[in-house]
Amino acid sequence: MNLLENLGIKVSDQSKTRVILKMEIAAKHMQPYKLMHGGISAVLAETAASIGANLNIEDDEHVAVGVDITTHHLNPVKDGVLVTEATPVKVGNVIQTWTITTHLEGHAINTSLSTVTLKKVALKTV
């Protein structure tokens, strides 16, 4: 099981210019104080940015990997369905920067800025 499956994150829409994720808040997302753990917002942000960044890569030799993320928690969350939207600020040949906002019922609960770099990967043959 991968991280998205484990946390219940669903890709609602994806393109080179916008990625939308949805996740219903569950007990596994909570901190001991019955509020959603802030790390969940960071996971949603970096996941959305990485999906979008990978869609902008024109070859099969590179993948986008996160190098920096800044996350601002605006409001606490207890339950509901989160909607995360990522859009590119800059799509370069080596570095991409994405801005991400997570909403709950139309209200922003988190904003993030994620920077990814393109990493060359060794392709395995079977």
pLDDT digits (tens, 9 = 90+) for 77-88: 999 999 999 999
- Examine the pLDDT at 1 and tell me if it is beyond 90: no
Could you read off the pLDDT of 8-36 as tens digits, one per residue? 999 999 999 999 999 999 999 999 999 99
pLDDT of 119 reads 93
H/E/C letters for each residue in 34-68?
CCECHHHHHHHHHHHHHHHHHHCCCCCCEEEEEEE
pLDDT of 123 reads 62
Rounded mean pLDDT, 31-56: 97
**Distance in angstroms (rounded) separating the CA atoms of residues 87 and 39:** 20
CA dihedral 97, 102, 108, 114 (to 10 degrees): -20
pLDDT of 126 reads 52
Q: b/e string for 46-68 if b means 16 or more Cβ within 10 A?
A: bbbbbbbbbbbbeeeebebebee
pLDDT of 86 reads 99
Q: Which of 5, 24, 46, 58 is catalytic?
A: 46
- Examine the pLDDT at 69 and tell me if it is beyond 60: yes
CATH class of 3-120: alpha beta
Rounded mean pLDDT, 81-100: 98
Query: Does the pTM of the predicted model rise above 0.85?
Result: yes
Q: Does the annotation mark 46 as catalytic?
A: yes
End-to-end CA distance of the chain: 22
